[in-house]
Chain A
Amino acid sequence: MRCLGDFFSSSIGRKISVAAAGLLLCCFLITHLAGNLLLLAGEGTFNHYAEVLEANPLLPAAEIGLALIFLLHIMVSLKLKYENRRARPVPYVVQKGKGGRSWGSRAMLVSGLLLLAFLVIHVKTFRFTEHRESLYRHVFDAFQNKVYTLFYVAAMIGLGLHLSHGFQSALRTFGVGHSRAMSAIKRTGLILSAAIAAGFALLPLWFGFMAGGAR
């Protein structure tokens, strides 16, 4: 027990928690994306999917679980970030590095905060809202607001960046690090993050710009 306490107060233990939460969120993103892509299959299919999902009695529990995972991921990350800042009280005058960092890793905090802002708006727009007609209509209407659509797309670029570092970093934190495995993981991570980001961004672009008058 003492050991577990140690684990959750240690740098490595907390990193592992963030990584675990991050990987679970990745899984969530993939199912969420699959559901979203049903929008492309037409109004009927998508609305049917939405109704079945909402009728599932386990949904509230799953939502609470998901919220907790988000909360853990965000809170612990911010705490670690805060400690990292404090670990170097006097910054370098010249900061250059030797080329180890990727764009994704540099942008972790910014992309994370962008995603947090997006999350709040996103949940407010699509979850805690009364939609007059079907959910499909609601989505369609939401993306007629060009500013919102562009924000959505920007957030998805942020998501791609976040995942490009996050995915491989999470696996390293879990102790996967053999050099041959690592290059495969890096490649998978990049493809996965690009696919998730592009998949999510496709819908606002489609509804906002391409399918504009299709009603």
Chain B
Amino acid sequence: MNLTLRIWRQNGPTAQGRLVEYRVEDISPDISFLEMLDVLNENLAKKGEQSVAFDSDCREGICGMCSLVINGQAHGPERATATCQLHMRKFKDGDIITVEPFRAKAFPSVKDLVVDRSAFDRVLAAGGFISVNTGNAVDGNAVLISKDRAERAMDAAACIGCGACVAACPNASAMLFVSAKVSQYSLLPQGQPEREKRVLAMRKAMDAEGFGNCSNETECEAACPKEIKMSNIARLNREYLRATLLSE
């Protein structure tokens, strides 16, 4: 198939960006969207032009490194799918496809389609952990956790930290990301000793990064490649309210 691409090119964080049009031809419908960009980059390299910078690593939908807003949709048109697992058979011959980076103040541009998502790392450093040193652990079966609870914690823990929730949110809010981590630990007994401290600290770090405020638009849930649920956001609100009331 032959396609017209309109790709956001930007030469660094402060440079002015713009959409540049490219043509790609003979694209196999069986390859992924990122492999289609690989083909474009090979063509550009052969012409001596600079390749389009974009992030990717595992290319099997688990590392969370790939991003892209494709035709206005974070990770493209398919639900529950990261860009690296979006296949070209979802597009038609002759399509015009606009590709933009994830846009948010908290995700400053690096180059072209690459953005800096280290804000997520800083939010997790604020409290996204259980304080236990290596060597301290009791037997894995010493604390029983019901199957249902473990499954719900796993649902939340499945987050890959790609940032699509922020990219898709009309307010660029990071609530779905933060709530997934808060939920995982608040559901598990291991997370209880730091339950209040964690949510207060992570909220603070989240706000300091310049993310927007959640207005329950549910665009995050619709864009999430791992189908993290909005109910986590409700739980974060609850946990935060609870922590505020309980802490001194």
Pick the residue among B69, B79, B212 that contacts A92 (CB under 8 A).
Answer: B69
* Known contacts A6-B200, A176-B234: A96-B103 contact under CB 8 Å: no
A146 to chain B, nearest CB (A): 36
Q: Is A197 interfacial (CB 8 A cutoff)? A: no
Q: Complex Cα distance A93/B100, Å?
A: 8
In the complex, the answer to whether A12 meets B105 with C-beta atoms within 8 Å is no
Chain A residue nearest to B18 (CB atoms) is: A93
- Write the A88-103 contact mask toward B (1 if CB under 8 angstroms, else 0): 1111111111111100
Check if A100 sits within 8 Å of B218, measured CB to CB: yes
User: Which residues of A lie under 8 Å from residue B136 when comparing CB positions?
Assistant: none
Residues in B whose Cβ lies below 8 Å from that of A179: 229, 231
Q: Interface residues of B, CB < 8 Å — how many?
A: 56
- How many residues from A make CB contacts under 8 Å with B? 44
- Which of B41-49, B121-129, B187-195, B236-244 contacts the other chain? B236-244
Bound Cα distance from A101 to B168, whole angstroms: 11
Q: A98-B79, A100-B221 are in contact. Are A84 and B213 (CB under 8 A)?
A: yes
Inter-chain contact total with CB atoms closer than 8 Å = 156
Q: Which of A127-145 contact B (CB under 8 A)?
A: none
Q: Are the CB atoms of A98 and B74 closer together than 8 Å?
A: yes
B86 to chain A, nearest CB (A): 13
Of all chain B residues, the one with the shortest Cβ separation from A182 is: B231
Q: Is B214 interfacial (CB 8 A cutoff)?
A: yes
Residue of A nearest to B221 (CB): A100
Q: A11-B206, A15-B214 are in contact. Are A84 and B71 (CB under 8 A)?
A: no
Tell me if A199 is interfacial: C-beta within 8 Å of chain B. no
Docked Cα-Cα span, A11 to B208, in Å, equals 10
Q: If A98-B219, A98-B223, A173-B216 touch, does A87 touch B171 (CB 8 Å cutoff)?
A: yes
CA distance A176 to B8 in the complex (A): 40
Q: Which residues of B contact A90 (CB under 8 A)?
A: 17, 103
Within the assembled complex, what's the spacing in Å between the Cα atoms of A182 and B200? 25
Residues of A participating in the B interface, judged by any CB pair closer than 8 Å = 3-4, 6-7, 10-16, 80, 83-84, 86-101, 105, 108, 165, 168-169, 172-179, 182
Would you mind naming 17 contact pairs between A and B with Cβ atoms under 8 Å apart? Answer: A10-B203, A14-B213, A83-B213, A93-B19, A94-B69, A96-B71, A98-B168, A100-B168, A100-B220, A100-B222, A100-B223, A101-B219, A168-B216, A174-B241, A175-B238, A175-B239, A177-B232
Pairs A-B, 3 closest by C-beta atoms: A177-B234, A175-B238, A96-B72
